Amino acid sequence: MLWSGSLFALPGIAFLIVFILARPQEAFPLLARVPFLHLFTALAVVGFVIDIRLRRLQPVATNTLPWVISLLVVGVVSTAINQPAALLGRTVELAILFCLYGTIAHGIQRFRTFQAIAGVLCATCVFISFICAHQGLSAKQCIGGEEAEGAIEGRPDGRLCETSEQCRGPDAEPGLEYRCEYVGLLGTYSVEERVRYRGDLQDPNECALTICAGGMALLIGFALRKRGAGKLAMYAGVALVMYTVFRTQSRGGLVAAMLVPGIYLFRRYGFKVLIPAVLVAAPVLMLGGRHDEAADISTAMRYDAWSAGLDMWHHSPIYGVGAREFGEHFWLAAHNSYLLSLAELGITGLVIFLSIVFLCFKTLIVGMRELRKLPGTRTPVIWGMALTAAFSGIVFQINTLSFLYHPVLWIFFGLIGGWYSAVRHHKPDLVIKVTMRDFAAIVIVAMLYAVVVLPLYLKAKGFM
């Protein structure tokens, strides 16, 4: 019997989520002197071990664990073959991701624990949304620094402006490039007038995806469990997230933001919701996404990166060019997580990555179907729908983002694994896995994607 009290692993997991996403150590220099990420990783792992020893948790592996281990092993082996000098650093990076996934996936064995961790993630994403929304409503200031991938990486100098030209006057510091951007709290500022956060979320597209999955989807889940003022507060949070996504001008983020509630509507009304959904989505995308010359250039560069990724795979088709080595072979990020796994980890890595994604969806769909047969399972089903909506948005948008090693993806791998462990508390005989038929289909899909779909698409766009 598991003890139902608080767990020693929870504080480490909670602080790890906050420090990875909110990055307070970057806003407050004093905190930057302490390696909090490594300390909280160790705290989460040690707490998990203590909980196992005290029998507060059971040492039972979740269904995605073998596949996650396989993916990380392929990353280590590929790096050892291609870039042995970088092996130690890459191994540490992958180990941190594994600890993040492992402690969440195996530290959640009750829905009470799930709700606590989901609450931390949701609150962190709402906080990030607030900072970004405030940024978009603030005055513009001159940002002086160095040019990096079309953006200025520097600091605000306090001068108000309306255009970048106003920043290049006599008060400009020699040798610096200047942009006129929105400046918000905690030293954050926009890029090309697109609001964003900092750290792993300094890309507006990644910021939009994170607050959709970790904020909007989970807020709807909490709203369905609350009444009165609590429900209204949750939906106010949803509105805040939607406004922030709009200000990021992320086309993929807007689709993800509409996909999250769309999953709920589709689950309830079926295909009847598709036509009104398209009618609503079309004007939102036209008004909110980027449609200027910069957007067209960005799309062209993305296709160029995809073409380079295919060349990397052709050079090393089985195990790829090594984990996080895409940038050593091409000047731009891959901007496609599926292509990134193919280029860096070969067809082996793509198959394993698709297997994890498939198993996550299968776990949620089959798990909710089985739970609906049991009385008193409304809460698990609500959280299953929230995870399905969030993960649908992630799987869609990572087609244009380099998200393979992003902590947000691994947090959701962990949450889905933990949800499965909690479901098995209600239905111990439930076993969800990748069958041989499933695996054969995944291999076929992976090969078609690498050999047929992506090459033909790039050829049609003039990049092959």
pLDDT at site 4: 41
Looking at mean pLDDT, say which of 189-203, 361-375, 438-452 comes out highest: 438-452
pLDDT at site 171: 83
For residue 187 the two structure tokens come to: 């030293």
For residue 163 the two structure tokens come to: 């255009």
pLDDT digits over 279-303, tens only?
A: 555 555 555 555 556 667 778 889 9
pLDDT digits over 69-96, tens only?
A: 999 999 999 999 999 999 999 999 999 9
Per-residue pLDDT at 145 exceeds 90: no
pLDDT at site 261: 84
Per-residue pLDDT at 146 exceeds 60: yes
Tell me the Cα Rg of the chain: 22
Separation of alpha carbons 83 and 141, rounded Å: 43
Please write down the HEC assignment for all residues of 66-97.
Answer: HHHHHHHHHHHHHHHHHCHHHHHHHHHHHHHH
187: phi > 0 → left, psi -120 to 50 → alpha, else beta; which?
left
pTM score: 0.93
CA atoms within 13 A on the CB side of 236: 7
Q: Which helix (H) or strand (E) holds 407?
A: helix 407-426
Torsion sign, CA atoms 360, 343, 17, 396:
negative
Separation of alpha carbons 253 and 21, rounded Å: 17
Separation of alpha carbons 86 and 93, rounded Å: 11
**Per-residue b/e over 390-399, b at no fewer than 16 CB within 10 Å?**
bbbbbbebbe
Residue type, 106: H
Contact between 209 and 259 under an 8 Å Cβ cutoff? The reply is no
pLDDT digits over 162-171, tens only?
A: 998 899 888 8
Q: Tokens 């707490």 belong to which residue? A: 47
